[in-house]
Amino acid sequence: MAIGDPVNTPNNRWDAFQANVTQVAQQKASKALAHVDKDSTQSETNAWDYLGDGEMHDKARNAATSGTETGRVFYRRSAVALTYSDNEIIEAQDPSQMMYDPNSKIVTSMGYAAGRKIDDIIFNAAIGTANVVTRSAAVPTNTPTALPAGQILGDGSAPMSFDLAAQVVKTFGNNEIDPSVYKVAFVTPDVVYTLLNLTEQTSSDYVNREALQRLNSSGVVPNWMGFDWIMSTRLPVETNDMRSLIFMTTDAVGYHEPEGIATYFERDPSRQYAWRPQCDLTAGAVRVEDAQLVKVIVAETGTVAPV
Residue 57 in any domain: the answer is no
Is it the case that residue 14 has pLDDT exceeding 70? no
Looking at the domain assignment, is residue 68 inside a domain? no
Selected residue with higher pLDDT from 208 and 298: 298
- In tens, the pLDDT along 243-296 reads 999 999 999 999 999 999 998 888 888 888 888 889 999 999 999 999 999 999
In this structure, is residue 1 part of a structural domain?
no
- The model's confidence at residue 91, banded by pLDDT at 50, 70 and 90, is confident
Half-sphere CA count of 287, side-chain side, radius 13 A: 24
Q: How many other C-beta atoms are found inside a 10 Å radius of the C-beta of residue 94?
A: 14
Which domain covers residue 250, as residue numbers? Answer: 33-52+73-299
CA 86 to centroid of chain Cα atoms: 19
Which SS3 state, helix, strand or coil, does residue 54 take? coil
129 domain residue, yes or no: yes
The answer to whether residue 7 is domain-embedded is no
Taking only the tens place, the pLDDT of each residue in 186-203 is: 999 999 999 998 988 888
Amino acid at 121: I
Residue 177 within any structural domain of the chain: yes
Question: What CA–CA distance (Å, rounded) separates 285 from 122?
Answer: 6
Is 183 a member of any domain?
yes
State how many domains the chain has.
1
Instruction: Name the residue among 284, 289, 287 with its Cα closest to residue 40.
Output: 284
Q: How far apart are CA 197 and CA 205, in angstroms?
A: 15
Q: Residue 306 falls within a domain, yes or no?
A: no
Say what the pLDDT of residue 88 is.
Answer: 87
What single DSSP character describes residue 119? Answer: H
Of 152, 176, 177, give the one whose Cα is nearest residue 164.
152
Question: How many C-alpha atoms does 210 have within 13 Å on its Cβ side?
Answer: 1
Q: What is the pTM assigned to this prediction?
A: 0.85
- The CATH number linked to 125 is 3.90.1690
For residue range 150-184, list pLDDT tens digits in order.
999 999 999 999 999 999 999 999 999 999 999 99
Query: Quick one: DSSP state of residue 90?
Result: B
